[in-house]
Structure 1
Amino acid sequence: MSHFWTLMDDEFGPAYAGSLARDHVLGTLQQRTALQAIADGVPPREVWEALCDDMDVPPERRLGRDDRVARGAQGGSAR
């Protein structure tokens, strides 16, 4: 779930991501919102892909930003 929200925030911004997940109805997920689908047991990856399709997110942005530094890597935080 945390990766789902990271992808959502990166692509849509934190404020819009929450609204989109809560309010946008996805036909491919049986007319449910992202949050409803997840609550009903649909895997977050499937929900993310449905949102990407519906919102025309290009394939090169569907795996998330590539400028993040992994925790523990040089320049990253080791928390």
Structure 2
Amino acid sequence: MRLTEFWDRMDHHLGPAYSRTWAETQALSELGGRTVVEALAEGEHAKTIWRAVWAHLQLPPSER
């Protein structure tokens, strides 16, 4: 997954105004207590991060 697709999905589910703030502030247990931004900065793959966001937000299987 490319970063552009990742951010498109984030914007779709959280809204373009909120997705970046959420990604900077919400620590996810699925990411070892890191935020999305921290995980990206540490080189985690966007697809892995999306799966963590998907699980955390309890999105439908079709959005995985």
| Same topology, TM > 0.5 | yes
TM-score in terms of structure 2 length = 0.88
**Runs of at least 4 residues off by over 6 Å:** none
User: Structure 2: how far apart are the matches of 1:27 and 1:61?
Assistant: 20
Matched residue of 1:57: which SS?
A: coil
Tell me what 1:33 maps to: 35
1:49 and 2:51 correspond: yes
Query: Which residue of the partner structure matches residue 16 of structure 1?
Result: 18
Distance 2:29 2:60 in 1: 19
Give CA-to-partner distance per residue, 1:11-51, whole Å, 9 cap, x none.
11101211111111011211100010011011011101101
RMSD: 1.0
Query: Structure 1: where are the runs of 5+ without partners?
Result: 63-79
Identity of matched residues, %: 34
The code of the aligned residue for 2:10 comes to M
Which consecutive unaligned segments of at least 5 residues does structure 2 have?
none
